[in-house]
Structure formats: structure tokens, C-alpha cells
Chain A
């Protein structure tokens, strides 16, 4: 980030956005509490915060769209020279699209799936300008070319569902910049995208900024922000608690919360280092007493000895109209006691099918899966069942993995009842304690727990049966970064205590790099590269891995 400190020099220094003491309340709850914000032309300002911090509401309030039952007030709210403190809906409509454009997260749902994207891009032209249909059509095609759409004429007639994730995000951006608004607000513009696509979209936004557009970037992801922003504002509970140049905030944060946020980002932080910081008092500390109830001491140190889980030349195909789709193509992996094998890849690369094959939830077409040297995938389910306690799983969405009628106590008691026959059945209290949850959680339903708590319950359930292997399928992708840090630390800790072997699946290279001893990179059903984690990330051999590593956002 060479140009991070100074905004690009624009022709005028009149801010494109000038807000003082912005407040938004829903009923009695104030979710934005006095935000001040100024953006100069060509400047990119980022608001970073976790879910519920009020960052998205702030973005919408700047367009007068905080919501029907909200109350917005401010001492000053000027967008591109127009005072909007007391604007009515009609005035706001004149601002939206013309003076300020908005880009939302996922274009699949942020563009109307029933309308061709050309129409969506045409909308602001039709609403704000007196242009003939032919002029508008020309402009739409220009815009599509401008955002790097390969075939603008063809693309204009497509609906968002008919375009790939990256292309439709480009179309969404085109509709936001159709009238070249001085201010562009991007609310998590790359969150749903794979890293390689994400990098290109960020480059596109950077390009728009170069032209003198002021950009407000809203993100939960510090790494995304680090690439793009001149200034960073950290938001928490509706207030800006820290701000400064991107460099200052990321490299020399003053606030403990900011420090905790940065520390929680796993990228580049060494294997085994703690990410969450209970001493900071920011994060609700789990009862971090070391767990006494170690069921078995690991018989051998990490990553040595015979493989516990072996996936040997496994292929899995699924029928699709007109043939079979190969989800997993001749994949071989092995996982030893106490070791973490990271499996990375973009969406659709076959990671989850590998997890299901390892759990013997689906049968391979070719090849075999061995557990501790014994047949696993080839076994009859009846014969496999008694050994199932040896391999557990945690999921991306723990809530859907719990029976909706059961409370935490019942979930854990049920899981503990089917554990290994030679071990003592752990009590619910012990299990909750191990994953850092209070005993009072036992009588609640997962529905009423937070995302982090749910994932802890899910881990406790997996531990109840004392498994040797734990399959973790995107276990932290749905969590805020500080919660993610706690869960990663918990998994790390449990692995050390119990000698667990983890198959850790994630699309997030930073997370995998932090967690894994070995890494396998998947693409289109194949493992393109495997090796020691450090080696793979520092000296990738396969060009695809190199691309992934280069595109991965980092601080």
C-alpha cells in the first residue's frame, strides 16, 4: 500500500460526503450513535466492524434508506454538495443513483433475477436523465465494457442468474456508476466471492476511485480494507471508536478492540499462536481453565506414525442431465494423529464431497477410504456403525445440524451416550466446560444461542464421542472475525490436549494457513498441490496455488 496515506489529488477539495453526528434508531434502540464522516473526491474510506456494529445501517442512512421504522438525525448530512438533513423521500430519490451509488454484497440477489442486467443498468439513466432509448442503450453498453464485461451486447440481455459471480458483480457495479456519481458506497462488495474473483472486483473499485469518485467501503474483513482504503474507521456498537490512515490503524492501532480485531485475523499469524485475546477483556472469555478430563493422552507426537485417515485415489461422480459430473477426481490424502490437514479450494471445487466421503456418508465410485488402516468406505454400514464414534464432524451452519426440538443438554447427552465403549461417558457439564461454555447454556435451545456459542456446542457434541478424527467443514466461515479467532483457538487447544487429527476444510487461505500442518489445494475436483503448509503458501509450485496465494487479501 504505497499510496495509502494520501488521498488521490482531485480537482476540488469539496468533500463528496460530509456527515456530522449521524444517529439512527429503531424504536428505543440506537444502532448508530453519532458518526462523523468526511470523504474527499478520489478518497476511499472504509468502515470496519463486526455484525451488529451498525456499519450497514450507516451506509443505508447516507442514502436515506435506513428503514421504514427507523429515525435518522444528523447535525450535517451533505452528499455531493447537497444538504440532505431534512430531505423528503422525493429529494432523496433525486440523490440516489445520481449523486451516490450503492453496491451490495451478492449480485445474484442484488440484481433482480427476473430482469436482464441491461435493464437494471439502464434504470438510473431512465430515472434521472432525459435520454432517448437509443442513447441509453449506447451508454449501457459503454458501462458494461467499462466494468470489463467480455461481451457487453450479450451480457446486457442476460439475467443475473445467467452470469458468473464475478461478472454479475461487475454488472451491479455498472448500475451503480451509470451516472458517474461522485460518491460510491460499497457494502461488503466482495464478501460472497471466491478470492481470485474478489481481487479483480477490488481492482475495479480501485479503478473507479482513481477517476475521482469518493468511495465508502463497508466490510467486516480487515484484509479487504487494507488493499483499498486510504482511511479506516473502526465501528463498534454504533460508534466510530478509532480512525486514521489505513497504515496507522492496521499497523499501530490504539484501541484494544482494534488490536483484538487485527490479532484475530489468522493470515500470517504462526501456527499455534493464539488469535483471541481473553486478557483484553473485549471478548467474552471462556472459562479458560485447562481441561483436566483428558480421556487419552496422545500416544505419539503430532504428524507421525501411521495415517489415521487415508483417502486413496478416490473418485466420486454425480448424475447430471446428459452425463455425470465428477465432483472428486482421483484424490489421495492422508491424515495422521495430532495433525491438521487443511483442504483449500474455491466454491464448487469438491471440498465438501471429500468431507462426506471421509465421513462415509457417501460411497466413492473408485478408490477407497481407510480409517486407522482398516477398510472404512467399503464397509457395510452395519459394520461401520460401531466405529463411527472415531470420526466426528463440525459444520459451517451448526444450527441446522441440531434437531430443532432438542436443547443443548439433550444434544450432548445423546452424543455422549454413543461414545467409545472403553471410555467414561463425559457429563454435559464437562463437555460444556471443555468448549468454554457456561453450564447454564445446557437448558437453552441452539436457536437462542449466538453463532459462536452454537459452534462451541457443535464441537462439544463432536467431542462427546471421543473421536480420533474431526472433520471440520468451513467451521468458521459464518462467524465474525473475533468469534472465529476464539473457535480456531479452541480447536487448536483441543487438538493439542487430545491428539485429534483435523481435516480442516475452508475457502479462506488465511484460516487454513493458521491452522494446518499440511495443505491440499483443490480445484475442479482434483488436488493440484499438497505439501507442508508453510512451503505451499511461501513457495507454491502449482500456478493455481500461486494465483490463490497472490489474490488472498492480507493485512
Chain B
């Protein structure tokens, strides 16, 4: 089991219960709020200047450590920079790290998962053992090992997080491919005389795709948390950068006096993770109800 698999199985289970519980077609309030939050994140990535209230790097020593107010919604940091604007500016970096790490993990997971489910018994055995071994580096441990080898920094941290999530992706993808391949509709296609290539293209891959979207959605939330943990530990993005984890690390020194420096960037991370989980559930529910 990995964190990713856990997120994924609970999403699956909750979706199956939700289908039993209610058949309403209206999206839930939580889904709508999460969708709005993600839209905000996208807007902050694409056009941070439109959403920010100030230049995120503008120093105003006289304004240092102001508590949240109408002028500075999230307060200011030790140099008087506006935290709200920095949080907005950091969205792009944090999302980029999260998305890239997820892409790396997903791509590696896909390669391993496809190899295991289509490469015959030996490949399956080899990949399964490899994944098992990688699971013995729980959580951030594999990422820390990568950082020891390649040195700290945002790029290494991103790759490290991607690598350490790959085994989780590999096992889920393998499981899904194997279950689709042994499903009765694939057997029905064989009975109709369809070639393996056609079965793969028409049934296996399309049906594996929707769960992959869900998986990627869940994975982005997790990757952002892990990457910001590395930043917080000083192994990823470094403090002057407006990345959420780095901002938190910068706020650590002033926790006793300026709690807002820590609370607001953290809230963004928490919000992103919650939103991806809720949206992952909503997507799975939609897939289940056959629409």
C-alpha cells in the first residue's frame, strides 16, 4: 500500500457508496466549492497579475509583519511583502512542481504497470518485486535518497517526489489493466474475434483512462504536499522564492510573532489537496453512474 493507493481506494469506495446512497444529478456543494478553488488556482497560474493585489516581490520595510488587514488580506512578511500576492504568485511554481512530479510518477508508473500487465509472467514478477522493494522506502525516504545523490534544489525535489510516487502509480495501473483485461467484456470481444490490438485500443486503454485522470488529480494534491515538505526542510525551493513550502519555511522563524506568514501559504496547500480529493471523488462518481 502507498499513500496514493490509499487515496485511490477510498475514493473508489466512497463513490460506490455514494451511488447507492443517492441518485441526484446535481453536483454536491463540496464539488462546486472545490471546482471554484481549482479555477482560482488556474487563474493565479495563468494570470497572477490580475488576481494579486500587489507586486509579490515589492519590499516595504516600514510595512513588515503587518497583521492581515484590508490593505494586506493575508498580512505581510519580514520585508513587508504582501503575503496574499506572494501566495498568488507562488501558485504557478507550486502547481508546476506538483504537476511535473505527478507527470513523472505517472509516466514511470505507466511504463512499469503496462510492462507488468502485458509483458508476460517474468516481467510481471520482476516489476512486482521492484515495486515491493521501492515500497520499503516509505513516504519521503526515497525522495531523500534521490536528494542525497543529486543534491538539493527545486528540480531535484520535483524529480525526487515524482520517483517516490511512481511505485504507487505502477501498482494501481497494473491492477486496473489486469482487471480490465480479465473482464467479461474483453472476453466478449475475444469471442467476437477481435484482435488483441483492437481490444487494447477500443476497450482496455479507454477504460483505463478515466481512472487515470482521477489518479492524476489525487496525485497532484499529494505531490504538492510532498514537494512543499522538501522545500520546508530546505531541500527544495529556497526561501526568497514565492513557492508555498518555501514561504512556510521562511515563516517558521517568525511563528511566534507573525502566524499569518505560516498559516496562509499552508492553507493553500491544504485547500489544494482537499479540492483534488473532492474532485477525484466526483469524477469517480460520475464514471460509476454511467454518464
**In contact, A403 and B203 (Cβ under 8 angstroms):** yes
Q: Say whether B183 contacts A415, CB under 8 Å.
A: no
Indicate whether B69 reaches chain A with its CB closer than 8 angstroms.
no
Binding site for A on B (CB under 8 A): 183-185, 187-195, 202-203, 206-207, 290
Most buried by A among B183, B190, B193, B207: B193
Query: Given A445-B290, A447-B290: A404 and B191 within 8 A (CB)?
Result: no
Contact of A385 with B195 in the complex, beta carbons under 8 Å = yes
Contacts of B194 in A (CB 8 A): 385, 418
Is chain B's binding surface mostly helix, strand, loop or mixed? helix
Once the chains bind, are B192 and A403 in contact (CB under 8 Å)?
Answer: no
CB distance from A471 to the nearest CB of B (A): 8
Given contacts A445-B290, A447-B290, A448-B290, whether A401 and B193 have CB atoms under 8 Å apart is: no
The stretch of A43-51, A272-280, A388-396, A478-486 in contact with B is: A388-396
A418 with B187: in contact, given A403-B207, A405-B206, A448-B290 (CB under 8 Å)?
Answer: no
**Bound Cα distance from A385 to B194, whole angstroms:** 7
**Docked-complex contact B184 and A400, CB < 8 angstroms:** yes
CB-defined contacts of A400 to chain B, threshold 8 Å: 183-185
Given known A-B contacts A386-B193, A403-B203, A395 and B290 have beta carbons under 8 A apart: no
B191 proximity list for chain A (CB < 8 A) = 359, 361, 388, 391-393
Identify 17 residue pairs between A and B in the complex whose beta-carbon atoms are under 8 Å apart, listed by A's number: A385-B193, A385-B194, A385-B195, A386-B193, A388-B191, A389-B193, A393-B188, A395-B188, A401-B188, A402-B185, A404-B290, A405-B206, A418-B192, A418-B193, A461-B188, A461-B192, A465-B193
- The size of the chain A interface, using a CB distance under 8 A, is 26
In the complex, what residues of B have CB within 8 A of residue A402's CB?
185, 188
Partner of A401, one of B187, B195, B206, B207: B187
When C-beta atoms are compared, the residue in chain B nearest to A403 turns out to be B185
Q: Is A389's CB under 8 angstroms from B192's CB? A: yes
- The answer to whether A361 touches B206, judged by C-beta atoms less than 8 angstroms apart, is no
- Cβ A415 vs Cβ B192 within 8 A: yes
Which chain B residues lie closer than 8 Å to A461 at the CB level?
188, 192
Q: Is the CB of B195 within 8 A of A405?
A: no
Interface residues of A (CB under 8 A from B): 359, 361, 385-389, 391-393, 395, 397, 400-405, 414-415, 418, 445, 447-448, 461, 465
Given A401-B188, A403-B207, 15 additional A-B pairs, CB 8 A:
A389-B193, A392-B191, A392-B192, A393-B191, A395-B188, A400-B183, A401-B187, A402-B185, A404-B185, A405-B206, A414-B192, A418-B193, A418-B194, A461-B192, A465-B192
Report A-chain residues with C-beta under 8 Å of the C-beta of B187. 361, 401
Q: How far is the CA of A361 from the CA of B187 in the complex (A)?
A: 8
On whether A395 and B184 interact (CB within 8 A), knowing A385-B195, A465-B192, the answer reads: yes
B188 / chain A contacts, CB cutoff of 8 Å: 393, 395, 401-402, 461
Instruction: Provide the bound-state CA to CA distance between A465 and B191, in Å.
Output: 11
Cα of A448 to Cα of B189 in the assembled complex, Å: 21
Chain A proximity of B269: nearest CB distance (Å): 35
Q: Which residues of B contact A387 (CB under 8 A)?
A: 193
Minimum CB–CB distance for B21 against chain A, Å:
11
Q: Is the CB of A405 within 8 A of B193?
A: no
Give bound CA distance, A445 to B289, whole Å. Answer: 11
Q: Which single residue of chain A is at the shortest CB-CB distance from B188? A: A401
A403 to B290 alpha-carbon distance, docked (Å) = 11
A251 CB, min distance to chain B CBs, angstroms: 41
Q: Is the CB of B185 within 8 A of A361?
A: no
**Taking the nearest CB of chain B, how far is it from the CB of A400, in angstroms?**
4
- Residue numbers in A under 8 Å from B190 (CB-CB): 361, 388
The 9 closest A-B pairs by CB, nearest first: A388-B193, A447-B290, A401-B184, A400-B184, A401-B188, A403-B185, A385-B193, A393-B191, A445-B290
**How near does chain B come to A67, taking the closest CB pair, in angstroms?**
13
